[in-house]
Every structure is written in structure tokens, then in C-alpha cells.
Amino acid sequence: MNECWKIAVIGSGPAGFYAAGELFRQKSWEIKVDMFERLPTPFGLVRGGVAPDHQKIKSVQKIYTRIAENENFRFFGNVEIGRDIFQADLLEHYDAVIYSVGSPADRELGIPGEDLSGSHSATEFVAWYNGHPDFCDYKFDLSARNAFVIGIGNVALDVARILAKTHEELAKTDIADYALEALRASQLEDIWLVGRRGPLQAAFSPAELREFMELADADVLVEKNLLELDAESQQILETDASNDTKKNIEILKQISKKDVSGKKRRVHFLFLTSPVEISGNEKVEKISMVRNQLVKRKDGSLAPQATAEISEAAAGLVFRSIGYHGKALPDLPFDQKSGTIPNECGQVKDPGNGNVLRKREYVAGWIKRGPVGVIGTNKQDAVETVHRMLETFLNEKLEARKNYANPDIVSLLEKRKVEYVSFADWKLLDAHETDVGQKHGRPRVKLTSLAEMLSVIHQENN
Ligand code: NAP
């Protein structure tokens, strides 16, 4: 095939980069990829979501950088779809668009008091400690003694671990400087992880759970009676449980046998418990929780059901960590319930239109399948999307569009005075951050404001 296909990828997280990588792997297609990103910095949740003390996970950036170095790749950072360029511009300049914009919003608990000051989403806290420019001015009242983290997935564990770590532990990471200072003054003593179902249904992974046993100045606790499984869960443990689930139970048992050694902080695992109300005079002071029992749903899974057992506890901070949620994009269909763009194998479909498949618009990653899975899950997801797209080009006998209204998106960006950031610019920023980091024995010191980022790029370019 001698035609050259121009593909726009929206969003520079794992799904976007895996899609670009798969496009470049196609020997029989000549493909150029332009990637657009709202921030001046690439890599999505690898930079803004993965915990700062999980640097090994962040090393996946090297793979994405190799993809970005392909001569047919261009990065346009600091360009927002719906503000700087629009769907119509993309369809005018590209043969197809892959939206891989993730799930930037969060889910709500739907209980009274959730909006009180001191009640936050994990999304806000994670973005704050990771130096995301939109969240760097957020404030968290770390003079509180008790924090409750609702939900027990890996994000909840990240939040609890960052709250529990000492200044020395955090100072070795690339946590945002302002967060390092704020956490240094933290008065927190007790951090509660609250799971609505039992230990067998916990969504966290064993490696993340094990880290709690290695905290420098925080004890970790789980009451033995909370690990007693109901008959149904016990049977699942003996027959169908995954290796990860079995490992989780083993580690929790080890934790329950550990002596409390009087460390500065304590992290408590609570199971079969749901918050029912957060209360206080203008700010969070108290949390009321109900004990749950598990009941079997029609599909065989076990659901939490509230009992009459209510308890109350003093609380200064509450973080809801019950999953991310997608946001609608202008001119694209959106399913509010799942927070995804309706699609078939990554090909966008118009549900209001008799499920017609769009030929030139595709999705990959969390906006395609919902906010589940680890970084690597996005690879097979993006591969599926890319192959569906290329098959559609062939099956529909589409031709690469030669007569573009504008020869190149750059002229449009320049006309609109969009100050876009190239991958070479990002590398200057990256070098700046890592150089400053090295001087302080840290992987990098992040720049956290857009103005600062753009100013460093200007300085380094001149
Ligand atoms: P998650 O894994 O889906 O966990 C969400 C948690 O919230 C579950 O415990 C869930 O309980 C609970 N929950 C949901 N609705 C609730 C409600 N109304 N009340 C109380 N609890 C509720 O989501 P996540 O932690 O945000 O993580 C998102 C994805 O990123 C996951 O696939 C995760 O593994 C991945 N991730 C991985 C890492 C890592 O590998 N280190 C780090 C961070 C994130 P139920 O099970 O009862 O629904």
C-alpha cells in the first residue's frame, strides 16, 4: 500500500502510545501519527497517576519515548481538543482519529456530607501529590488525626501509603515539592482503609498490599475476626479464587498476627463496612458507617448488604477512592453510566443512530473499556483498536485522503496562536526536571505550573 495514512491520537497516556506503537509496527502500511495532549507533558497517568514511590512502574516511559522517536511521529502538547482544535479540524486533517483520553473524573458515594470541606476524591489527592498543574493549588487539612479512605482498590492503597510514609521515605521520590512539604507537617495518626465487601473481594494487588508491612514508621493492622470468611467466600477461596486473591488473604493473615510496635502512624484495614454519612460543622468531623453482610446476586457474585449495626468515628479527612469515571468529549457519543464512548472493538458507534459505526473515529484505553486494568492492559486494548481501524479501511475500501483543506495541522495551530509543545521541547523539560532531581538525590523535581513549564522550554530553546 503506497498511500500514506495520517492518524491523530488524542491523549498521551499508555493507551495512546501503545496505539501509536502498533500503527508503526504495520509493515504494509505507511502511517504518520500526530499525538495531541492537553498538558505540555506526555504519558498521562504514568506521570500524573502512578505513585511517586513506584518509580519502577514509571520506567515504561522509556518504551513510549522510543515510539515518540519514530520519524513519523509528532507530539503536540498543550493542545486541548474542544478549546484549541475541534473534532471537525481533526477529521479535516487526518484519515482517522483515536481518542485515548482516559477517565479523568471520579465517582461519588452519594451519601450526606460528601461535599463538606475535608472530604475529597482520591483523584484530586493523587493528582495533587503528583504535581498535576490543575491540582497544584488544592489544600488538604493534614492537621487531622484520622483519615478514612473509602474503597480498597490499588488507588486507595496508594493514597493510604503516601499518607502513612515518613518525610525521609517520600523525599527519595518525585512527589511534588509542595506535597512533600505539606506531608512533612502531617499530624495524621490513624488511616483507615474501608472496604464494603470482604477481604476475598478486595480489588488491590498482593504486591501493593505487601508494601504496608515495610513502612518505616507506620504499623498496619487488621482485626482477625474481619478475616473470617462467610461460607460462600470460603468456598470461592477453596475453588475459584485467583492466585492474587489467595496471596492477598495470606498477607492479610500475616498482618493480623503482627504485633503493633508503637510506630507514629497506624494503617487499619476495615472490611464489610460502608460509610453512610459524613458530618461536621462546615468541615468533616465525623463519619458514620454501617456493617455489611454479603448476599449472593443472581449472577453468583457477592454484594454488600447493610445490617443494622452502625458505628461512628472521629474523622478529619475522607478520601473516596471508588473508581475513576470518563468525561464526555464534544461531538462524540457518551454513555454516562459506564463513563465510556460507545464502541465496538474500539470503533466508535452512535447509539442514537441505530448503532452505526463511525468509519474514522476510534477509542482506546479507559475511555473505551472503563477505568480498570493495569498499564499493560492498555497494550492489547490499543492493538485491538488499531486492527479494527485498519480492517475498516480495507473493508470499506477507504483511501487515504490526499486533498486536505489545510496541508498540515501546524498551520492551523499557528493561525490560532496555540503555543504547542513538541516532543523535543518535552525532552528539554524532562532533562531540566531530572537534572534538578539528581542534585537532590531524587528521580526528578517536577515543574507543576504550566507557566513554569513553558518558560523553561523557552529558556532552554534560546
Ligand atoms: P478499583 O480497582 O475498581 O477499586 C475500586 C474500589 O472501590 C473497590 O474496592 C470497590 O469495591 C470500591 N467501591 C466501588 N463503589 C463503592 C461504593 N459505592 N462504596 C464503597 N466502595 C466502593 O479502582 P481503583 O482503585 O481506582 O483503580 C483503577 C484501576 O487502576 C484498577 O484496575 C487498578 O488495579 C489500577 N491501578 C493499579 C495500580 C498498580 O498496579 N500499582 C495502582 C493504581 C491503580 P467493590 O469491589 O465492592 O465494587
Instruction: Give distance in angstroms: CA of 360 to centre of ligand 1.
Output: 33
Report the pLDDT value the prediction gives residue 404, as an integer from 0 to 100.
Answer: 56
CA pseudo-torsion sign 338, 40, 158, 190: negative
CA of 372, closest atom in ligand 1: 32
Please give the Cα distance from 302 to 164 (Å, whole number): 31
Write out the H or E segment, with its range, that includes residue 444: none
Residue 21 inside a domain? The answer is: yes
What's the predicted TM-score (pTM) here? 0.96
Name the β-bridge partners of 317: 147
CA of 372 to the centre of ligand 1 (A): 8
The secondary structure of 274-302 as a DSSP string is EEEEEE-SSB--EEEEEEEEEEE-TTS-E
Nearest-CA residue for ligand 1 atom 13 is 322
For atom 39 of ligand 1, the residue with the nearest CA is: 154
pLDDT at 1: 53
Ligand 1 center to residue 322 CA distance, Å?
5
Q: Is residue 23 part of a domain?
A: yes
| Atom from ligand 1 closest to the CA of residue 323 | 26
Pocket test for ligand 1, best of 148, 150, 154, 374 (most atoms within 8 A of CB): 154
The Cα 88–Cα 154 span in angstroms is 38
> Are 302 and 381 found together in one domain?
no
Whether residue 206 contacts residue 212, with contact meaning beta carbons closer than 8 Å, is answered with no
Class of residue 262 by CB neighbours under 10 A (exposed 0-12, middle 13-18, buried 19+): exposed
CA of 237 to the centre of ligand 1 (A): 20
Helix (H, G, I), strand (E, B) or coil at 203: coil
Whether 449 maps to a domain, the answer reads no
Last residue of a domain, which of 320, 344, 369? 320
Which ranges of 265-422 would DSSP assign to H, the alpha helix? 366-369, 377-395, 409-415
At 270 the three-state DSSP class reads strand
Query: Residue 140: its pLDDT value, please?
Result: 98
**Is 414 found in the same domain as 291?**
no
The ligand 1 atom nearest the CA atom of 156: 25
Domain end position, chosen among 269, 303, 320: 320
Per-residue pLDDT of the chain (462 residues; tens, 9 = 90+): 558 999 999 999 999 999 999 999 999 999 999 999 999 999 999 999 999 999 999 999 999 999 999 999 999 999 999 999 999 999 999 999 999 999 999 999 999 999 999 999 999 999 999 999 999 999 999 999 999 999 999 999 999 999 999 999 999 999 999 999 999 999 999 999 999 999 999 999 999 999 999 999 999 999 888 889 888 889 889 998 999 999 999 999 999 998 888 999 999 999 999 999 999 999 999 999 999 999 999 988 899 999 999 999 999 999 999 999 999 999 999 999 999 999 999 999 998 877 889 999 999 999 999 999 999 999 999 999 999 999 999 999 998 876 555 578 999 999 999 999 999 999 999 999 999 999 999 999 999 999 999 999 999 888
Asked if 132 and 177 count as a contact pair (C-beta separation under 8 A), the reply is no
453 CA to middle of ligand 1, Å?
Answer: 32
Do 145 and 27 share a structural domain?
A: no
Are 97 and 10 in contact by the 8 Å Cβ rule? The answer is: yes
Both 208 and 145 in one domain: the answer is: yes
* Rounded Cα distance, 343 and 364, in Å: 10
Q: Does any domain span residue 439?
A: no
Tell me, what DSSP letter sits at residue 102?
-
Closest Cα to atom 3 of ligand 1: 323
Torsion of CA 240, 274, 146, 224, to 10 degrees: -40
Q: Is 331 helix (H, G, I), strand (E, B) or coil?
A: coil
CATH of the domain at 337: 3.40.50.720
Ligand 1-lining residues (CB < 6 angstroms): 109, 150-156, 158, 195-197, 201, 203, 205, 208, 274, 321-324, 371-374
Looking at the structure of the chain, the number of domains it has is: 2
Grid cell listed for 379: 497494550
Same domain, yes or no: 215 and 186: yes
Residues 6+ apart with CB under 8 A from 88: 331
To test the pocket of ligand 1, the residue of 196, 242, 320 to mutate (highest count of ligand atoms within 8 Å of its CB) is 196
Examine the domain organization and report whether 239 and 289 are in the same domain: yes
10 inside domain: yes
Residue closest by Cα to atom 29 of ligand 1: 372
**Sheet harboring 96-99: ordered strands across?**
73-76, 30-36, 4-10, 96-99, 356-363, 347-350, 343-344
Residue where one domain finishes, among candidates 320, 342, 372: 320
Would residue 440 count as lying in a domain? no
Atom of ligand 1 nearest to the CA of 197: 47
Give 151 Cα–ligand 1 centroid separation in angstroms: 6
Does residue 198 lie within any of the structural domains?
A: yes
Same domain, 246 and 285: yes
How many angstroms does the Cα of residue 272 sit away from the middle of ligand 1?
15
Residue 427 domain-assigned (yes or no):
no
- As given in the structure block, the three cell numbers for residue 264 are 507514629
Measured in angstroms, how far is the CA atom of residue 202 from the centroid of ligand 1?
Answer: 8
Closest residue (by CA) to atom 15 of ligand 1? 322
User: Who's near 78: CB < 8 A, 6+ residues apart?
Assistant: 37, 38, 39, 40, 418, 419, 420, 421, 450, 454
Q: Whose CA is nearest to atom 11 of ligand 1?
A: 151
Domain containing residue 124: CATH number: 3.50.50.60
| Pair (50, 112) in one structural domain | no
Most distant pair of Cα atoms in the chain: their distance: 72
Assess whether 50 and 124 both reside in one domain: no
Ligand 1 atom closest to the CA of 110, numbered from 1: 18
Ligand 1 atom closest to 109 (CA): 18
* pLDDT in the model for residue 370: 97
Q: Count other Cβ atoms within 10 Å, centred on residue 4.
A: 13
Do 209 and 132 have their domain in common?
yes
Looking at the fold, whether 256 and 159 belong to one and the same domain comes out as yes
Residue 189's domain spans which residues?
108-320
pLDDT of residue 72: 96
Q: Tell me: do 143 and 74 sit in the same domain.
A: no
- Going through 218-365 in order, the beta strands assigned E by DSSP cover 218-222, 265-270, 273-279, 286-296, 302-314, 317-320, 324-325, 343-344, 347-350, 356-363
